[in-house]
Structure formats: structure tokens, C-alpha cells
Amino acid sequence: MVHWVSDSEDSDKFEWDSDEEDAVSFNAAGSGSSALASTNIDAPGPSTRVANGNGKAGPSASAVQEYVDMGFPEEMVLKAMKDNGDNGADSLIELLLTYKAIGNDPSLENGSASHCDPQAAKDSDDDDNLENWDDDDAGGRNRGPTFDESDDEDFLHEMSQIDGKVDYLVKMGFPEDEVNMAVTRCGQDASISVLVDSIYASQTAGGCCGNSSDHEDNSYGGRKKGRPMEGNKRKRKRFGGQAQGSRGPLDGSDDESMRLPKPMVGFNLPNGLRSANRSLPGPAIGPPYFYYENVALAPKGVWTKISRFLFDIEPEFVDSKFFCAAARKRGYIHNLPLVTRSPLLPLPPKTIFEAFPRTKKWWPSWDPRRQFNCLQTCVASAKLTERIRLALTNSEDPPPVRVQKYVLEECRKWNLVWVGLNKVAPLEPDEMEFLLGFPKDHTRGISRTERYRSLGNSFQVDTVAYHLSVLKDMFPHGMNVLSLFSGIGGAEVALHRLGIRMNYVISVEKSEVNRTILKSWWDQTQTGKLIEISDVQTLTSEKIEAYIRRIGGFDLVIGGSPCNNLAGSNRHHRDGLEGEHSALFFHYFRILGDVKAIMARL
């Protein structure tokens, strides 16, 4: 996607980044690594599938490699793709996670003989090596055992699979005795989803809610506590299963919208507006603490899905207009405490006139704006502002309603300010820095176009700092941070302004421009160590473990993956988490899981 600021005649129709539902999206909310498409393996066509010897479709090497890059063994990916059939990318990811949790098949761990040579699939420029991927006997070679072929497995391996399922369900929060009873009822070969439904069916029959109601009871997202059947539906949606003996599929799906609060004030604000308590599910409790951000007005079902992958934690939806003079509707999922929060001081101005008092002199009485809309990655052209000037100059004072309506529409869309008689202009980069909570000249030294793009993709520092403020007293000697999709360092600036020392920061950011901005700020303000990585896909489990051993673990994993395919106005590529860029969310999920698992093991 090309990012630019144009002076062309049609620039006022240009696509821009926004979290407003009627706007047009321009770029990501935070840059990430090279695009990882969450490939839909059902999609026909030679780029996705290759016909095998039976005329059936097998996965392309590129499709397989994308999931291998996410940390799954190649043979496991092939097996999951076959078993998943036409259920889509989301179902495939959950199946891979289940396989990885159980992870006992010797064909996947020990590299036993198979009809497909994994190395050949990697090294080949075509997909010929995958032609016979689902034959029972290719070329006279017998296939190694898979998850569905247990006839040749001995008793010990069979028991290890059972233990793996039990451990997996216990980690999800189910009581071990109930899990064992479900295995007895459903059999040792029962799938995870069948076992989950069996546990819930037993709990419902006994009037017990089990551990499914660990979540807080509040108005965010519409979840309610203490009703067993709602917990059943939630878990069934997660695993795609159905209780044995049930008469048909349950109502509801992952496409259900998560209800956004009005006003969008999160769990609490500095002025005391709204207060909420919550109890986190056991697996979500640190270490480390984690914090994830993205646009609030995402496509239907996206936040439900994000929450489901991040321990079913309730998102905290906040509009930054409660912290500064510009709106920025964002959702945050985190395991931070909610008490002892404190705002950054001095408090930033919350109206346009407080932030830029010089504009008041020229502000017409018929322009009712007191705050800006979400700050974007591009700005209005000079030709547009000239058209507005001419329309006002050629009108009486006050101008006709139709002229007022036209001018106000453009001013709201482009966040224009009054800088003279009948004269409007876009915000300058340093004014955007001020509104977003960054120090003066934070992005200075790069082109104006790059400054607008980088700032439009950043955190609003005061909002994020309010949430992170609970960490100050917890880490008096400093902390180690894994910063994913760092952008221009919004998280780092927030921690610095809170007075929290950063001993180590591992920063992952694709944009060289953004890395330059962060490095320059770091060298001027910090004494800790900054380690930069350019591609989130290269941060493997092995590298994570090496960093953890080197620095002693991470205290915070923070970041917001790209919103290109989520922003409210991306009419052409608003594909949700399956989109080319926004699928990078799954790397946040993968890396967080690796960090938690490695730190728990070491």
C-alpha cells in the first residue's frame, strides 16, 4: 500500500486510517513485520492448492510455510490441513494449537518416515512434492503414524496422549476430576471439543457453573456471569464442538459482535467515572504482564476472536478523548491490575482551544467542534483548503447552511483548524505529537509524509500510560520489556514518562523509519539496553528462550498489531484477522504463549 500526502484535485477523497465506521481506512495501527496472510486453505486456485494424484487438492508449499513460520512443525501443519478439510483458517489454527498442546505423535516429534519429504517441500520451487499428500501409500512407502492412526501405537504412547488431553483441559481451567470423568464417559479417543462439551453437560445437569465463570460480570462485551448454558455456548464456540446427545447446533457463532460501551471509558478513568473489578482466568495471570491494543470498531466478531485467543479476557474499550483533545477509539486486552491507576501529570488539555488557544480568534461560531476526530496517517491537500477558503470568501457572513455543512464535513474528516480569516489548515506534525503525548520533535528529521504516517499509527501515550501506571510501584528497580510492533515507541515513551526504568527492551518493528525514531529517542533519554528486531516472524521460540536466559525473563509483553484489515473504512480489504496484515495478530498470540511457557519452565 502506498502512503503519501497529495496535492491532487481528488485528494479530499483519499483513503485514510480511521476507527470511525463511516471513514475510509488508509494504513495500519502500528507497523509490523512483512505480511503474513492467514491463508484460507479452502480457497480454490493454483496459488493455494495443488491437485494430487487422485485429483484432490493438497496445500501449496507457500500455504504450509506460513504456518511453519508461526512455529508449528511442517508435518503437523500438513496433518492439520488434511484433518481440517474445508473448515477455514481459524479452525486450522485452533487444530494446530490442540495438536501442539497434545504433541505426542512420534511422527511429528521424531521425524518418522512419511509419504512426503518435508525438506523437499521446502527446497522445491513447485508443489510436486505435495502431489500425493493424502494417499495412504505413496510410491510403495508406508506412512508414519498420525493423530488418527492409533492401531500401531503401544499402550504407553496411548496413555501419553490421554495425559496430554487431561493436562491441556486442566490448563484451560477445568477441574482435573471432571476431566478424568469426561475421558471415562467419552472414551480415550474423544476429541478435545467432545470432552469440553461432556464436562459442561455434566456441570449443567448438576447445576454447577464450574470454572467457566472466572470472568468479571460487567457491561463490556455483553458477557454475564453465573449462567451455565452461556458458559457452555462460549466454550463450544471456542472449540467448534457439540455436546454428545444434543439435538442440533447451538445458537451463536464467533461472528457475534462484542457490544461496545457508551461512553467508551474502559474499566475506570482518573475522574472516577465507572469502576470495575475483575477476576482473571488462571492461565492469564502473570508473569509476564501483557498488553494488546487495536482499533475498537473492528469488523463483526473480531474482538470476540481476539479475546478468545487471549485467555477470554474482557477487552477494555477506551476513547482517548477522555485523556486528550483527540478521539482515538481503541480496545485493550491485558492482565494488568485495575486499582492504583494514576494519570500522567501534568494533565494534557482536553479541548481544541486549550491545546491550541491561538485558533480561537479565528474559530467561527457555526463550527461546534471542541475535540478532534481520530488523528490519521495523511492530511488534507492544499487544493482542498483553498477550495474551502474560496467557498467562504464568496459567501456572506455567516455563510449559507449548505456551505457550512460542506466546510464542517471536510474539517471533521481531515481535522482542520482555523488559522486565519476563512482559512483552515491541517495539523502540523509537532501538533500531532503534542496531542498524542510524545515529546516535541520526537519524529522530526524524517519527511512530513513519514511523520504523519508514523504518528497516525501510534499509541496515544496518556491513555496507555494510565493503564501501565500500576507497574511503577511493582518494579522499583526497572523492568524488561518485549515490545512487539513498536512503531515510534509509544509504549516506551509511556513507561519513561511514568518514571519506570527500562533495563532491557527487545523491540520488534518492521519500519526502518520507525526504528530510527525510537533509537534516536532511546539514545537521548535511556540508560538501559535496546535490542532491535526487524521482523516479528523471525522471533522464534528458540530466540525467545535465548533472550529470556540472557536477561532473566520479561516483565511486560506489549504491542498492537496492524489494523489495515480491521479499520472501519477499509472498504476493499477489511478482511478481519484473516487479512494480509492484521493476521500478524497471531504472531503476538504465538510469541506471548512462548514467553509464558518458557518462563514457566525455566
Q: How far apart are CA 371 and CA 354, in angstroms?
A: 10
What is the rounded end-to-end Cα distance, in angstroms, of the chain? 42
Count Cα neighbours of 42 within 13 Å in the Cβ-side half-sphere: 11
The answer on pLDDT for 557 being more than 90 is yes
Q: According to the model, what pLDDT value does residue 434 have?
A: 98
* 334 in Cβ contact with 376 (< 8 Å): no
pLDDT in tens, 412-439: 999 999 999 999 999 999 999 999 999 9
At 276, the amino acid letter reads A
Q: According to the model, what pLDDT value does residue 76 have?
A: 85
Q: According to the model, what pLDDT value does residue 238 have?
A: 38
Average pLDDT over residues 246-250: 29
Radius of gyration (C-alpha) of the chain in whole angstroms: 26
**Grid cell digits, residue 156:** 504407553
pLDDT in tens, 137-163: 333 333 333 333 334 444 444 445 667
| 127 vs 368: which has the higher pLDDT | 368
The answer to whether the predicted template modeling score (pTM) of the entire model surpasses 0.95 is: no
Q: According to the model, what pLDDT value does residue 137 have?
A: 32
**Grid cell digits, residue 88:** 477455514
Average pLDDT over residues 464-493: 97
User: Lowest-pLDDT range, 44-58, 240-254, 273-287?
Assistant: 240-254
The answer on pLDDT for 235 being more than 60 is no
The answer on pLDDT for 278 being more than 50 is yes
Q: Which of 374, 378, 411, 563 is catalytic?
A: 563
Buried b (16+ CB within 10 A) or exposed e, 545-579: bebbeebebbbbbbbbbbbbbbbbbbeeebbbbbb
| Domains by residue range for the chain, with CATH | 61-152 (no CATH), 238-347+438-601 (3.40.50.150), 352-436 (no CATH)
Residue 563 is among the residues annotated as catalytic for this protein: yes
Percent above pLDDT 70 for the chain: 64
